[in-house]
Amino acid sequence: ALIPAFILQMLLSTAGGYAFGRLMIWLVNRIRLQQEGLYIVLTMALTLLTYGFTAIIGGNGFLAVYLAGIMLGNANIVHKRSILHFHDGVAWLSQIVMFLVLGLLVVPSQLPAVSGQGLAMALWLVFVARPLSVLIALGWTRRSLSQLLMVSWAGLRGAVPIVLATFPLLAGVPDAPLLFNLVFFIVLVSVLVQGISISWVARKLGVMADQPELIDSHLFVPDVSGASQVLEAHIPPDSALVGKSIIEANLPRGVLIVQIQRTDGYLIPNGSTIFAPNDRLVLLVAPTALSAIKELCASCSLNPLGPIKIGAQGQVEVQETEVKTN
């Protein structure tokens, strides 16, 4: 009965995480809130709803929230930078609180009593069990022995095993304190031995590589240089963009809408701004995105009017040279 119950729980958790992940994306991009901070409150409320509903129907709330978070983090949503920064801060705060709580559960005077058993189990896990599990799981992949050994060495340490060891304590299982102390001691050995020596082991195995600079897509802004172009485009009433938000338009990478001009003035847009008929867009286009913006102009009935310049009084002036879209 245990295996069917486990499979059912995983299925319910996966279904709940996927469904609420899609719901989060849809709500964040559709709801028009006046303050940016309210989107953070919305995502927090949806996270709690995901956990609670999945737990009620018999699934695992943690797994559902994890899956929903992966979907939300990889989707194009409005105010993504603020939402991710807030949740990143909450994650770090939660880890700090977790370690403080775990520290309160540990009785240092009880650790010497389990040091012999704990050291033997830690050595077995580090040098035998973990390498064997990695070879079985990844041996069929096209990985060198050095890479497999590196994966093996970079395991075990962390607070998750300690958190799991608290469950028997909460359930009142016999000898639960002994189990908790053993797990804590093993993790401590893993942190001291593996955690500190990862860089040294990587160099010895020849798998140390220079990590390239990563550009986060939701923080990307086109490079402003002499080769960049500022263009103005007109959205006709029959354009496919009318009624869509900027986040829904899937603009090419390297294109930034700097300003939207309307009959009643101009506005600085954000991801939730809705395109209206006869909008005039001021676009900052990186050289690598010129072909993509031409394709967008052809597919969405945009009419590029030509490069622009900023006048002495800050006004936008369209130059006579036109940008051809064919």
Q: From 205, 233, 259, give the residue that closes a domain.
A: 205
pLDDT tens for each residue of 62-88: 999 999 999 998 888 888 888 988 999
Q: What is the pLDDT of residue 284?
A: 77
* Domains contained in the chain, number: 3
**112 shares its domain with 98:** no
Mean model confidence pLDDT for the chain: 81
Q: What is the pLDDT of residue 291?
A: 78
**86 shares its domain with 51:** yes
**273 shares its domain with 293:** yes
- Which amino acid type is present at position 2? L
Spans in the chain with pLDDT lower than 50: 214-215, 217-222, 224, 313-318, 320-326
- Domain membership of residue 39 (yes or no) is yes
Q: Which domain holds residue 13?
A: 2-105
**Chain-centroid distance, C-alpha 1:** 36
Q: From 86, 105, 124, give the residue that closes a domain.
A: 105
Helix/strand number for the chain, H first, E second: 11, 6
- Domain membership of residue 93 (yes or no) is yes
- Domain membership of residue 326 (yes or no) is no
Q: From 146, 174, 205, give the residue that closes a domain.
A: 205
In the 8-state DSSP scheme, what is residue 314?
S
**20 shares its domain with 92:** yes
**229 shares its domain with 188:** no
Q: Report the side by side order of strands in the sheet with 265-267.
A: 265-267, 255-262, 280-285, 229-234, 303-310, 316-318
**66 shares its domain with 157:** no
Angle at which helix 61-73 crosses helix 2-30, to 10 degrees, equals 40
Tokens 């830690």 sit at which residue?
122
- Domain membership of residue 211 (yes or no) is no
- Domain membership of residue 129 (yes or no) is yes
Burial 96-110 (b: 16+ CB within 10 A, else e): eeeeeebeeeeeeee
